[in-house]
Amino acid sequence: MEVSELENMARSAVEEISALTDARELEAQRVKWLGGKGLVRRARASIKEHQGEARVAFAREVNRIAEEITRVVDEATERLAAEATARRIAEDWIDPSLPATAPRRGALHPVRVVEQRCVEIMGRLGFEQAEGPEVETDYFNFDALNIPRDHPARDMQDTFWVDEQRLLRTHTTSVQARVLAQAAGRPVKVVVAGRVYRNEAVDATHLAMFHQLDGFWVDRGLTFAHLKGVAVHLARELYGDRRVRLKPKSYPYTEPSVGIDVECALCGGAGCSACHESGWVTIMGAGMVHRNVLQEFGYDPEVFSGFAFGWGLSRMTTQMYGLSKLRPVYRGDLRLLRVLDGRSALCV
């Protein structure tokens, strides 16, 4: 192969490659000229046919042609890629200068929002948050809270049992028993929030799993007046300046016991379907800690007293967000949760 043949080969390569409009044809031309069995490789193999200065000149020309063809191939690759991008943009009507679509921002679940607000309010009153297991023992869930085996409250709660001694806790009050057991007769002031489980018929306002919040304070000299002051403060912090009333109730672990109601926000006390025409909505149950519970954990009822209160966070969430049903909150329907994320709860 002579130098003149190399020059003709180079011109032919540049013309063929520059005229290409298809990426597959470009790849075929690259293999033809620069591949392992391509024309440039064959030209390099023929260098040994030359001698002396002619050999050096021929090798230099082969290298120049290889570099030129490589450059033309690279330029054609960039040109075809740019043309392909331009075609896609024209076909898809995409404006690459527009800002990208940002991922949707996540948010706390409405029940969690209400829970955090409640814990924050109680934290300002000096209550420390505590936690306990959801799989609880029969003792801490019932016996230690003055609910013996023959007590009707056990039937009312219709429990999920894991085995003969363990069950899914039916109330967060079980953590109250654990805290008192660990306190060894010292004053305690604690708030507890979490999931609880009851084998209930699922309907618009009841679920087998829901969230509760409990608070309790045991110390020397506490009276019902302290309970009333804390309960009314909590009600007004959560529901605003609405009327509050206390009514007699019965709980096995408190005596005396009361229910705390607030004026229905939807009807202003006039009566509607949300409050069952009563004009009031029950928000929590409360009472003075039963002397049997105090004695169970080594407290002298003549020296120590205490009060406890609690409410269903799940039901409170429906009240705060103005929902008539509880079940949709737990279905995980993103459409509802996005609407609630943009709506302020009464307590926030």
Q: Which residues sit in the known binding site for Mg(2+)? A: 255
Cα angle 317-312-144, degrees, rounded to a multiple of 5: 160
102-152 pLDDT, tens per residue?
777 777 888 888 889 889 999 999 999 999 999 999 899 888 988 888 777
Alpha helix positions (H), the chain: 3-18, 23-34, 39-45, 52-92, 110-124, 138-141, 152-157, 173-183, 224-239, 291-296, 313-320, 327-330, 334-341
53-94 pLDDT, tens per residue?
777 777 887 788 788 888 888 888 888 888 888 887 777 766
State how far Cα 284 lies from the chain centre.
Answer: 27
Residues contacting residue 84 through CB under 8 Å, at least 6 positions apart = 23
Could you tell me the two tokens for 159?
């429990």
What's residue 8's pLDDT? 75
What's residue 309's pLDDT? 92
CATH H-level, domain 110-341: superfamily: Bira Bifunctional Protein; Domain 2 (3.30.930.10)
Residue 317 DSSP SS3: helix
What's residue 56's pLDDT? 79
159-218 pLDDT, tens per residue?
888 888 899 998 999 999 999 999 988 999 999 999 999 887 776 656 788 889 999 999
CA distance readout (Å), 347 to 89, 190, 230, 236, 323: 50, 21, 17, 9, 14
Q: Which residues sit in the known binding site? A: 255
Of the two residues 243 and 339, the one the predictor is more confident about is 243
Of the two residues 191 and 52, the one the predictor is more confident about is 191
Residue 294 DSSP SS3: helix
Closest CA to 171 of 212, 206, 208: 212
Of the two residues 36 and 186, the one the predictor is more confident about is 186
What's residue 49's pLDDT? 76
CA distance readout (Å), 59 to 10, 44, 54, 65, 72: 14, 7, 9, 10, 20
List, edge to edge, every strand of the sheet that includes 254-263.
128-130, 188-197, 209-220, 304-312, 280-289, 254-263, 244-251
Cα 286 to Cα 173: distance, rounded to the nearest angstrom: 12
What's residue 348's pLDDT? 44
Angle at which helix 52-92 crosses helix 23-34, to 10 degrees, equals: 170
pLDDT band at 3 (very low <50, low <70, confident <90, very high): low
Closest CA to 265 of 275, 257, 256, 255: 275
The pTM assigned to this predicted structure is 0.64
